[in-house]
């Protein structure tokens, strides 16, 4: 018995606009039933890559295979209507002249009426807007529109669902709720999906795996903790969350940073340690060599910026029981002995 | 390559080709006229040059410059009056100033020449008062022609100036005033420069409309180059010679467009479509208010009210006259001709506009974009040039088919329905493409993408998404093209097949035989239909100003 082909394979994908390489040699493979989040700063090529997969932007080079079928080989490409791919757009893109029910039914127009009706009802119920089937898009809220748009994309049973920052226009509370419904819907329909986001927190919360893109290239692909805790370079480290970088030096007891010794190969000298705010311990000490230069109250926690004796500044997130003032002297240490290491000039 | 990819490529080529074909079909007639000049018939030119041509060129120049000047002054003045001031009747005049658009120059022309003519009521009264030999200004003259054209064409300038005043100049005017400029200073130094692009565009349309006319000018004995083309064509059916002289008309048009570009300079603010706060209107009081109301009334009465009333009176007299009016029996036939021609033109223009604009959406490329723009060239080409170009093209096609022992049906060389519709299509494709395009622009590209990734082919997307969502703009396109086509006289006069007279042609023929009473009915019909887009335009003005 052969294993089924992966829902999506991207090989050496290149797409240029003028002299800019929007997508510059990307390789990517999606596992069955997986939700992959493509994340990166704006202009990194994540939307272009998504649109290439959908068939809206042909590739210059490379290939895209959906469910084992080559849909783009850099020379010819299958048009979007013949790809087993659904897409949800940033601005919902519901057809304004059709009701929500008719919108969801649009992709399954050719199915028998009874089947179609049942499917629409089922999907609308899954995203909890079954009472809105007769309404028009302009008559419902932004969150409801986005849910309808997801239901519409899933209706024709695509082998792959693509979502282009679908929740960017929603307010944060609503976003979380709609996101949960989306995940439930994807799990229920066993639809693998590629989700584009510029929000690293959303990426980690949502993705089975996260792909970080910069300037058309895939910088790192892995699970959320992988990427947060083991970033491959400075860019990924700082894009995925607050990070300071301290040089690793060779001390008497082995490799160390200004905050203390770390577990690392002796050859790590040319590298830098990624210092996450949660990993920096602080202790008030009038004799301390470090100084609090900024403090921000954030409810459950305080965030402090601390200047070390070398002049380097690290950030520390501490519980609110520890209240320090601007100018306080502190002793800083590393709560972990295994910080991520990145190449010093890794950009 | 998969089968899907292959069909997709064919479909893309298909969609892209609509615009390219439309562009070729539109550009060929114009190119044919221009190309003809490369092999000039020297004897015709010499003969023309020795007789009428220098005079015709000079007259054309005077006429166009005169009409543009008067129309710009009138259009801007009225726009400024209602845009920045308040006076009794302002709301009414705001849209009433657009009414003359419904009155083609060839209709106002014959009303004026008859009422003010030697046999008309004005001169008769004048002679009764001041004696048989009392001096009266010559009616059949260039200044009168300029007056008639200006009164019918100023609304183009008025509309553009009004939009620019409303959307752009308001804020700047207030700023200038707050910086200490007087009203007059602020108008001269801030408003007029900001209106420049709108004025240039308006004046270019006015110039084009004036150039293309050869009916109105004949009421006033004004011999322009366009009249020359008509005379050569109807006199000798020498299409090459007529087309070559038509090239001169095209040269005038090109100069007008170039002047527009130069005059507009690098300014692009009229196109930025901003929505400023508009003007805080200054209330006129006392004598000034009275003057504003009376002045506005005079314009509306002269340009629309009086001539329409006169036509109604003539038509009424004619219908109630005991002598009977056998001509009225022919009315349905002319109406049918006009309706057939108009519907065909609208149908073709809409079809081509929908296919080309959607083609650009489904198969975007530089070539298609350029082709789509080229296909709108007809609006910048005087009708007489389009007409001659279409004749040259069809004759060329006929000859080409002849080598295969085939031919086009009918006598294309002297005018046929096919030639007529072709020429109308070339001339009126632009407003149709522009409207349909603005409708499609309202459909976000992601909507098209959604529909396609839900499994719809381009043709299905067009039918299920694009067409339902751009119904309004298609209706606008149909009305604009339809009314333009119904009003069109020069092309119909040049190309109509024998016995296929349209309402404007009938009106013109009756008027040139001084049968004004009988001309009144078809003239009124044209005005009534032409009022539809004017009403739509005015509604647009109101809606915007109430925002």
Of the candidates A81, A93, A107, the beta carbon closest to that of B447 is on A93
CATH architecture group of domain A8-238 = 3-Layer(aba) Sandwich (3.40)
Query: Is residue A113 within 8 Å of residue B466, measured between CB atoms?
Result: no
**Lowest-confidence region among A222-231, A234-243, B394-403:** B394-403
For residue A162, give the chain B residue with the closest CA. Answer: B453
The answer to whether A79 contacts chain B (CB < 8 Å) is yes
Query: Is residue A186 within 8 Å of residue A194, measured between CB atoms?
Result: no
Distance CA(B536)–CA(B547), nearest Å, equals 17
What HEC string does B166-215 produce?
A: HHHHHHHHHHHHHCCCCHHHHHHHHHHHHHHHHHHHHHHHHHHHHHHCCC
Encoding tokens for residue A68? 């084992």
Strand partners for A195? A37, A163
Residues 6+ apart with CB under 8 A from A81: B452, B453, B454, B455, B456, B457
How does pLDDT run across B90-149, given as a tens digit for each residue? Answer: 989 988 998 998 999 999 999 998 888 877 888 888 888 887 777 888 888 899 999 999
For residue B3, give the chain A residue with the closest CA. Answer: A78
Residues 6+ apart with CB under 8 A from A56: A80, B449, B452, B453
Minimal CA separation from B448 to chain A, in Å: 9
The residue behind tokens 């919108």 is: A103
Please give the pLDDT value at position A213. Answer: 94
DSSP A146-157: HHHHHHHHHTT-
**In the 8-state DSSP scheme, what is residue B344?**
H
Share of chain B above pLDDT 70, in %: 91
Distance CA(A241)–CA(A244), nearest Å, equals 10
Share of chain A above pLDDT 90, in %: 48
Query: Is residue A275 within 8 Å of residue A231, measured between CB atoms?
Result: no
Distance CA(A13)–CA(A181), nearest Å, equals 32
* CB neighbours of residue B16 within 10 Å: 21
pLDDT at B545 over 60: no
Indicate yes or no: CB of A95 within 8 angstroms of CB of B5.
no
Distance CA(B268)–CA(B196), nearest Å, equals 10
Give Cα separations from B509 to B387, B486, B493, B503 (angstroms): 19, 16, 10, 10
Give Cα separations from B156 to B79, B89, B94, B100, B462 (angstroms): 11, 21, 14, 10, 34
CATH of A244-343, one of 3.30.1370.60, 3.40.50.2300, 2.40.50.140, 3.30.310.50: 2.40.50.140
Please report the number of interchain residue pairs, chain A to chain B, with beta-carbon separation below 8 angstroms. 81
pTM of this structure = 0.82
Helix (H) or strand (E) holding A201: helix A200-206
Distance CA(A218)–CA(A194), nearest Å, equals 14
Query: Is residue B526 within 8 Å of residue B504, measured between CB atoms?
Result: yes
DSSP A119-134: HHHHHHHHTT-GGGTT
Confidence of residue A256 (pLDDT cuts 50, 70, 90): confident
Nearest to B105 by CA among B145, B138, B152: B152
How does pLDDT run across B244-275, given as a tens digit for each residue? Answer: 888 888 888 888 888 877 776 655 544 444 45
Burial of residue A281 (number of CB atoms within 10 Å: 0-12, 13-18, 19+): middle
Please give the pLDDT value at position B349. Answer: 94
The values of phi and psi at residue B87, to 5°, are: -155, 165
Distance CA(B198)–CA(A40), nearest Å, equals 45
pLDDT at B464 over 80: yes
Indicate yes or no: CB of B5 within 8 angstroms of CB of A90.
no
The answer to whether A136 contacts chain B (CB < 8 Å) is no
For residue B457, give the chain A residue with the closest CA. Answer: A81
In chain A, where are the structural domains located? 8-238, 244-343
Mean pLDDT, range B7-33, rounded to an integer? 88
Interface of B with A (CB under 8 A): 1-2, 4-9, 11, 444, 446-447, 449-457, 464-465, 468-469
Minimal CA separation from B445 to chain A, in Å: 9
Encoding tokens for residue B33? 């006229």
Mean pLDDT, range A106-111, rounded to an integer? 91
**Lowest-confidence region among A90-104, A256-270, B26-40:** A256-270
For residue B469, give the chain A residue with the closest CA. Answer: A97
Residues 6+ apart with CB under 8 A from B84: B165, B173, B187, B279, B281, B282
Please give the pLDDT value at position B204. Answer: 85
Minimal CA separation from A1 to chain B, in Å: 27
For residue A83, give the chain B residue with the closest CA. Answer: B453
Please give the pLDDT value at position B202. Answer: 84
Minimal CA separation from B206 to chain A, in Å: 40
Mean pLDDT, range B299-306, rounded to an integer? 94
Indicate yes or no: CB of A76 within 8 angstroms of CB of B455.
no
For chain B, the average pLDDT equals: 84
B544 by DSSP, 3-state: which?
helix
Please give the pLDDT value at position B67. Answer: 95
Mean pLDDT, range B374-388, rounded to an integer? 86
Please give the pLDDT value at position B271. Answer: 41
Indicate yes or no: CB of A87 within 8 angstroms of CB of B453.
yes
Indicate yes or no: CB of A83 within 8 angstroms of CB of B447.
no
């Amino acid at each position: 018995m052969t294993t089924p082909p992966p829902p999506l394979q991207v090989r050496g994908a290149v797409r240029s606009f003028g002299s800019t390489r929007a997508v510059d040699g990307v390789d990517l493979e999606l596992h069955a039933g997986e939700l992959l989040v493509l994340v990166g700063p704006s202009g990194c090529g994540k939307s272009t890559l998504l649109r290439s997969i959908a068939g809206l932007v042909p590739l210059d080079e490379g290939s895209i295979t959906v469910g084992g079928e080559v849909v783009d080989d850099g020379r010819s490409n299958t048009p979007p209507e013949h790809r087993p791919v659904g897409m949800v757009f940033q601005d919902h893109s519901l057809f304004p002249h059709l009701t929500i029910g008719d919108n969801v039914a649009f992709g399954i127009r050719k199915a028998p009426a009874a089947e179609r009706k049942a499917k629409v009802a089922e999907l609308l119920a899954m995203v909890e807007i079954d009472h809105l089937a007769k309404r028009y898009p302009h008559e419902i809220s932004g969150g409801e529109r986005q849910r309808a748009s997801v239901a519409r994309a899933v209706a024709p049973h695509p082998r792959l669902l693509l979502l282009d920052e679908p929740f960017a226009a929603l307010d944060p509370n609503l976003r979380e709720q709609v996101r949960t419904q989306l995940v439930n819907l994807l799990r229920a329909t066993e639809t693998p999906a590629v989700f584009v986001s510029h929000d690293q927190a959303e990426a980690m919360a949502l993705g089975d795996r996260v792909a970080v893109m910069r300037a058309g290239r895939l910088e790192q692909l892995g699970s959320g903790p992988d990427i947060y805790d083991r970033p491959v370079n400075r860019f990924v480290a700082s894009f995925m969350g607050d990070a300071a970088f301290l040089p690793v030096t060779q001390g008497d007891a082995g490799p160390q940073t200004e905050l203390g010794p770390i577990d690392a190969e002796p050859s790590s000298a040319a590298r830098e340690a990624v210092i996450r705010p949660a990993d920096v311990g602080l202790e008030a000490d009038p004799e301390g060599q470090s100084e609090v230069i900024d403090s921000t109250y954030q409810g459950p926690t305080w965030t402090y910026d601390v200047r070390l004796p070398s002049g380097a500044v690290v950030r520390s997130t501490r519980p609110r029981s520890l209240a320090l003032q601007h100018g306080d002297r502190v002793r800083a240490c590393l709560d972990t002995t295994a910080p991520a290491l990145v190449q010093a000039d890794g950009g | 390559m998969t089968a899907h990819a292959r069909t997709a490529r064919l479909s893309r080529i298909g969609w892209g080709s609509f615009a390219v074909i439309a562009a070729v079909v539109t550009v060929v007639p114009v190119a044919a006229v221009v190309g003809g000049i490369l092999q000039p018939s020297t004897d015709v030119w010499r003969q023309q040059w020795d007789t009428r041509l220098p005079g015709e060129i000079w007259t054309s120049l005077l006429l166009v410059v005169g009409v543009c000047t008067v129309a710009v002054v009138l259009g801007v003045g009225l726009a400024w009056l209602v845009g920045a001031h308040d006076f009794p009747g302002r709301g009414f005049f705001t849209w009433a100033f657009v009414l003359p658009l419904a009155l083609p120059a060839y209709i106002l022309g014959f009303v004026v020449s008859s009422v003010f003519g030697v046999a008309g009521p004005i001169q008769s009264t004048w002679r009764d008062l001041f004696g048989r030999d009392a001096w009266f200004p010559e009616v059949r003259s260039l200044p009168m022609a300029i007056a008639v054209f200006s009164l019918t064409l100023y609304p183009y300038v008025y509309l553009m100036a009004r939009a620019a005043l409303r959307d752009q100049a308001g804020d700047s005017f207030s700023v200038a005033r707050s910086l200490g400029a007087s009203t007059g200073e602020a108008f001269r130094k801030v408003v007029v420069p900001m209106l420049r692009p709108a004025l240039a565009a308006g004046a270019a349309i006015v110039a084009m409309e004036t150039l293309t006319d050869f009916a109105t000018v004949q009421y006033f004995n004004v011999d322009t180059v366009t009249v020359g083309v008509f005379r050569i064509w109807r006199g000798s059916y020498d299409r090459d010679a007529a087309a070559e002289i038509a090239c001169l008309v095209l040269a005038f048009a090109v100069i007008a467009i170039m002047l527009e570009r130069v005059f507009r300079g690098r300014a692009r603010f009229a196109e930025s479509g901003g929505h400023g706060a508009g003007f805080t209107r200054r209330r006129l009081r006392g004598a000034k208010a009275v003057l504003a109301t009376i002045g506005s009334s005079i314009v509306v009465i002269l340009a629309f009210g009086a001539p329409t009333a006169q036509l109604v009176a003539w038509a009424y007299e004619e219908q109630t006259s005991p002598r009977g009016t056998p001509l009225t029996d022919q009315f349905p036939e002319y109406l049918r001709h006009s309706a057939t021609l108009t519907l065909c033109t609208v149908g073709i223009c809409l079809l081509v506009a929908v296919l080309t604009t959607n083609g650009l959406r489904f198969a975007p490329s530089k070539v298609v974009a350029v082709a789509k723009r080229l296909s709108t060239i007809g609006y910048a080409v005087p009708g007489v040039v389009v007409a001659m170009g279409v004749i040259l093209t069809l004759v060329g096609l006929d000859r080409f088919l002849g080598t295969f022992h085939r031919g086009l049906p009918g006598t294309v060389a002297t005018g046929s329905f096919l030639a007529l519709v072709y020429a109308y299509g070339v001339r009126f494709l632009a407003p149709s493409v522009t409207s349909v395009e603005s409708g499609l622009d309202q459909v976000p590209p992601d909507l098209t993408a959604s529909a396609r990734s839900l499994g719809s082919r381009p043709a299905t997307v067009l039918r299920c998404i694009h067409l339902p969502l751009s119904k309004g703009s298609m209706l606008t396109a149909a009305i604009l093209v339809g009314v333009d086509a119904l009003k069109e006289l020069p092309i119909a006069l040049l190309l109509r097949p024998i016995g296929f007279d349209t309402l404007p042609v009938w009106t013109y023929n009756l008027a040139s035989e001084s049968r004004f009473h009988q001309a009144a009915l078809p003239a009124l019909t044209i005005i009534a239909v032409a009022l539809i887009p004017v009403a739509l335009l005015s509604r647009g003005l109101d809606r915007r100003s109430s925002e």
